[in-house]
Structure 1
Amino acid sequence: MDPSVVSVLGLLLCISCLLLILVWKKGLGKGKLPPGPVPLPIIGNLLQLNLKNISESLCMLAKEYGPVFSLQLGLERVVVLHGYKAIKEALIDQGDNFSNRASMPIFEFVNNGLGVGVSNGERWKQLRRLSLMTLRNLGMGKRSIEERIQEEAKFLVEELKKTKGLPCDPMFILRSAPCNVICSVVFQKHFEYKDQKFLHLIELIDSEFKILSSTWIKEKQHPQSEFTIENLIWTVNVLFRAGTESTSTTLRFGLLILLKHPEIIEKMHEEIERVIGRSRSPCMEDRNKMPYTNAVVHEIQRYVDLLPTGVPHAVSQDTQFRQYLIPKGTTIMPLLTSVMNDDEEFPNPHQFDPGHFLDESGNFKKSDYFMPFSTGKRMCLGEGLARMELFLFSTSIVQNFTLKPLIDPKEIDTNPVGLGLSKVAPPYQLCFLPS
């Protein structure tokens, strides 16, 4: 063998050994981590994960190592939580210890770690408190925000009517509606869907979402305050990104699922006709009288399983969890898909069935296992807004249109297209026929 090749191999072997020693020393004496697969030098357990379907790989590992297990991703230690009991015990029962956001280089690259979504400690507490207070002042949870969504639902219906029943991809329109709701809250302004500034904003949100989904002014006098311009800008940015992409993706997925199940659309039509009719717009008071439609909206979110691995947390201090001692700073991955697809709570979880949220009498049935917005102290800030949007937009569309697929419903593929840690609906077209 060429001496130079031998030298290179020897160097790589030395580096690998040093890294293994480094990892070993890093965890030495700092607690007892949960069991897990043996990591390889440098890359850890990466080869044991299907990067196109990370959540499925993690669920398979949970069958072997239990509901709490460890992985080594490069030099990063990760503790995975599988199942409702483990996630509840960590994020709710020990919420303070598990409330930190894990360090993610991609966020450092995009926004320097600023904003409520990725910050920790006092910065996170101040920004979350400010965000919640501001959202309440702007109408979140009140009649005023519902009226904004109802108004946007009318614009949405009018835009869909412009398609004149011809085949179209609804992605742009379904993305514009929730984005405009955020605009009405933040800027107190509704934009036309073809407005150039509005289009540019959507492009920015879209490009940033793709990056972040991949696997990889009075305040100068108060230097300790976290209400800096940069932090506030990135906090608003999080509201736009999360409030636009998650809702629009769920809506687009939802329409595709309904196209495959025309019998479900028919039941929704019957309930809408009985409770609302056609002379007025849907409102949130209607939801309590529409258990089937409410169940369909919930089942769409459960079935879509938008963020199967959740957003990684980290422990804020050395933490005793069950029989383990997890060192401060360890990344925690709450596997939300394991809760949303629990086969005891949701029989036949991979089958779309609104009955998962209905009791024997046809009344709506709540479930603690419904976690599309995560749970605990890091639960999504915009949960209330998203719930209202999904119900009002979905109901308005079914109220005003007959959804016509371009192919036989039996041939429609609702399997998601993997996009790193999140899911997106496969491209499709349909016809919106005014009813």
Structure 2
Amino acid sequence: MILIFFALCTLFFLIHQYLWRRRGLPPGPTPIPIFGNLFQLSGSEAPGISIFQKWKDQYGPIFTFYMGPVPFVVLTDYQDIKETVIKDGDTYADKYLSPEFNKYFRGGEYGIMDISGDRWKEHRKFAVLQLRELGVGKPLMESKILIEAEELIKKLKTAEILNEDFLLQSELDVAVGSVINQFLFGYRFDRSKLFEFTRIKTLVNNFMEEVGKPLGVLAFTCHGIPSFLVKLMVSGIEEQKRELFRFLRKQIDGAKSQINYEEEHNEDFVEAYLRKKFQREQKNDFDSYCDSQLENVCFDIWAAGFDTLTNTVGFLIAYAINYPEMQMLIHQEIDNYLAHHSRLLTLADKNALVYFNAFANEAQRVSNILPMNLPHALTRDVKLKGYHLKKGTGVIHQIANVMTDETIFKDSQRFDPNRFIDENGKLKKIEELCPFSMGKRQCIGEGLARMEIFLLAANLFNYFEFLPASDGLPSLYKDFSLVSHVIPYKCRQYIP
């Protein structure tokens, strides 16, 4: 009798999860109990791209797949994505993420990336303001990035590296990490701070890898999983969590000990936040701006800004080495523009370097750094393409598949910068190139990232030609987690 009872309960659960709950949802692949379609997703050659393309071909541009027991509606057509996140942005503005994971990892609903509601709106607005105030798009931030570009060039000119096999990615990582840390805490990773940087980089990379695994995705996105199970499912990030936040607290405590609240000028993001927090506390508001929120916002900026950008530039150089005739065109363009005068390129030079910009655009398109967009949640009931979706339904705007869409980018697997150059030799804007996502959840650091890509990569090509290492060409295979990682490669470089 007990076995029959449990069998009936199991049957009822399966009918409810995979038949009753699918009423009104778009069609999609059949999920398996508990895990849904996660193993199909993680087992594909390019998670988030090839398997979603297969499902798109089979079910159409809008379909449903399951992360664990939870259904998510996936949009793969650019116009559908535009109609939702741009023209009806408020409806798709919430994040569909596990409050249990946030409680375990963040201590509650803190940060910017993984929360919704008023706190998200307030702190996203504050972060965007500080990016602008602290110099994004202005000479102040440009000068900080150029310091890293100049330091990188000096390192590559040393006798130990010149014309020898070396890991360029390690040097790029330090440059990108220094820009982020300058913005957050006001200092760069010079020689005395390299150990600190290496440890933080390892912790961030390990975190991304752990939450990109099937169990990590399940814990990260699904509601209702008991906290002790969440902890077991992502046990690999326990050390990363502890050490990352210890580092962040140390920097914040250092800023607190030195700040003068009577001054108005802010040297970095943490100073600006502490002054805002102090102002709110004078009005008896001790909740909206607090230490836990500051720690988590700093984590968001570090994690999102570092991993995506360093891999973007790493892929860009890897493609240049794999396509030497294209790299030669970059060098020729820079040499002709500068008339062989030796100086650093600045943002004022960017518009003149059409081919480099086209090459960088194509590198971003094919590297496709974010293989699967994190899910949003509907803030109200909607009718979408004939389907009635209830408030709270998870929706994934699959940008990665837009950038490999054959109807937009013909022969999309071919690396071709010329697709971004028009018949008049001008840089062509293709709005479907959207590596920083779209809508109200679009990457807040897009402006800073674009500055870094140009000032770091263009100046490397300005001073060096990059060649294959003795063990061959860099791999263009993408090592997937939450972010597509370039496979570490060695190369050679010499001064033309």
**1:54 — aligned with what?**
47
**1:426 — aligned with what?**
487
**2:447 — aligned with what?**
384
Which residues in structure 2 correspond to 1:23-62 (within 5 Å)?
23=17, 27=21, 32-46=24-38, 48-52=40-44, 53-55=46-48, 56-62=50-56
Q: 1:47-71: per-residue Cα shift (whole Å, max 9, x none)?
A: 5445343321121111121111112
For 1:186 and 1:211, the matched residues in 2 are separated by 25
Question: For the Cα contact (< 8 Å) 1:101–1:118, is it kept in 2?
Answer: yes
For 1:24 and 1:212, the matched residues in 2 are separated by 25
1:81 to 72, 75, 81: 75
Question: For the Cα contact (< 8 Å) 1:91–1:375, is it kept in 2?
Answer: yes
**2:163 — aligned with what?**
165
Unaligned runs of 5+ in 1: 1-5
Question: For the Cα contact (< 8 Å) 1:401–1:434, is it kept in 2?
Answer: yes
Which residues in structure 2 correspond to 1:60-99 (within 5 Å)?
60-99=54-93
**1:405 — aligned with what?**
468
Which residues in structure 2 correspond to 1:44-193 (within 5 Å)?
44-46=36-38, 48-52=40-44, 53-55=46-48, 56-104=50-98, 106-112=101-107, 113-162=109-158, 163-193=161-191
**CA deviation after TM superposition for structure 1 residue 142, in Å:** 1.6
For 1:322 and 1:224, the matched residues in 2 are separated by 44
State TM-score, norm by structure 2: 0.80
Question: For the Cα contact (< 8 Å) 1:17–1:41, is it kept in 2?
Answer: no
Question: For the Cα contact (< 8 Å) 2:42–2:213, is it kept in 1?
Answer: no
Moved more, 327-336 or 220-229: 220-229
Q: What letter corresponds to residue 43 of structure 1 in structure 2?
A: F
Identical amino acids, percent of aligned pairs: 29
Q: What letter corresponds to residue 205 of structure 1 in structure 2?
A: V
**CA deviation after TM superposition for structure 1 residue 313, in Å:** 1.3
1:394 to 453, 457, 469: 457
Summarize the Cα distance change of 1:152–1:66 in structure 2 as closer, same or farther, 3 Å threshold.
same
Moved more, 364-373 or 84-93: 84-93
Q: What letter corresponds to residue 89 of structure 2 in structure 1?
A: G
**CA deviation after TM superposition for structure 1 residue 126, in Å:** 0.6
Summarize the Cα distance change of 1:318–1:273 in structure 2 as closer, same or farther, 3 Å threshold.
same
Q: What letter corresponds to residue 143 of structure 1 in structure 2?
A: P
Summarize the Cα distance change of 1:239–1:412 in structure 2 as closer, same or farther, 3 Å threshold.
closer
Q: What letter corresponds to residue 351 of structure 2 in structure 1?
A: N
Moved more, 171-180 or 379-388: 171-180
Question: For the Cα contact (< 8 Å) 1:70–1:77, is it kept in 2?
Answer: yes
Q: What letter corresponds to residue 85 of structure 1 in structure 2?
A: Q
Q: 1:351-407: per-residue Cα shift (whole Å, max 9, x none)?
A: 111012111222100111011110000000100000110111111111111212025
**2:322 — aligned with what?**
260
Q: 1:405-425: per-residue Cα shift (whole Å, max 9, x none)?
A: 02597x653121223x32111
For 1:100 and 1:314, the matched residues in 2 are separated by 5
Question: For the Cα contact (< 8 Å) 2:47–2:480, is it kept in 1?
Answer: no
Q: What letter corresponds to residue 45 of structure 1 in structure 2?
A: N
**CA deviation after TM superposition for structure 1 residue 203, in Å:** 3.0
**1:207 — aligned with what?**
206
Q: What letter corresponds to residue 411 of structure 2 in structure 1?
A: N
**1:20 — aligned with what?**
14
For 1:241 and 1:175, the matched residues in 2 are separated by 13
Q: What letter corresponds to residue 172 of structure 1 in structure 2?
A: S
Summarize the Cα distance change of 1:51–1:193 in structure 2 as closer, same or farther, 3 Å threshold.
farther
Question: For the Cα contact (< 8 Å) 1:161–1:432, is it kept in 2?
Answer: no
Summarize the Cα distance change of 1:58–1:316 in structure 2 as closer, same or farther, 3 Å threshold.
same
Summarize the Cα distance change of 1:268–1:238 in structure 2 as closer, same or farther, 3 Å threshold.
same
For 2:102 and 2:323, the matched residues in 1 are separated by 39
Question: For the Cα contact (< 8 Å) 1:34–1:324, is it kept in 2?
Answer: yes
Structure 2 SS opposite 1:97: helix
Question: For the Cα contact (< 8 Å) 2:466–2:491, is it kept in 1?
Answer: yes
Which residues in structure 2 correspond to 1:254-403 (within 5 Å)?
254-276=316-338, 277-403=340-466
For 1:136 and 1:95, the matched residues in 2 are separated by 23
Structure 1 SS opposite 2:487: coil
Q: What letter corresponds to residue 313 of structure 2 in structure 1?
A: L
**CA deviation after TM superposition for structure 1 residue 183, in Å:** 1.8
Question: For the Cα contact (< 8 Å) 1:107–1:212, is it kept in 2?
Answer: no
Summarize the Cα distance change of 1:39–1:204 in structure 2 as closer, same or farther, 3 Å threshold.
closer
Question: For the Cα contact (< 8 Å) 2:475–2:489, is it kept in 1?
Answer: no
Summarize the Cα distance change of 1:255–1:233 in structure 2 as closer, same or farther, 3 Å threshold.
same
**1:3 — aligned with what?**
none
Structure 2 SS opposite 1:373: coil
Question: For the Cα contact (< 8 Å) 1:16–1:41, is it kept in 2?
Answer: no
Summarize the Cα distance change of 1:205–1:413 in structure 2 as closer, same or farther, 3 Å threshold.
closer
Q: 1:232-253: per-residue Cα shift (whole Å, max 9, x none)?
A: 2211211111221111111111
Summarize the Cα distance change of 1:39–1:207 in structure 2 as closer, same or farther, 3 Å threshold.
closer
Summarize the Cα distance change of 1:148–1:48 in structure 2 as closer, same or farther, 3 Å threshold.
closer
How many residues were matched structurally? 425
For 1:418 and 1:209, the matched residues in 2 are separated by 10
**CA deviation after TM superposition for structure 1 residue 319, in Å:** 2.0
**1:245 — aligned with what?**
307
Question: For the Cα contact (< 8 Å) 2:376–2:396, is it kept in 1?
Answer: yes
Summarize the Cα distance change of 1:35–1:395 in structure 2 as closer, same or farther, 3 Å threshold.
same
**1:228 — aligned with what?**
290
Structure 1 SS opposite 2:43: coil
Unaligned runs of 5+ in 2: 217-276
Q: 1:132-169: per-residue Cα shift (whole Å, max 9, x none)?
A: 11111211222211111112110111122232321111
Q: What letter corresponds to residue 47 of structure 2 in structure 1?
A: I
Structure 2 SS opposite 1:96: helix
Q: What letter corresponds to residue 104 of structure 2 in structure 1?
A: F
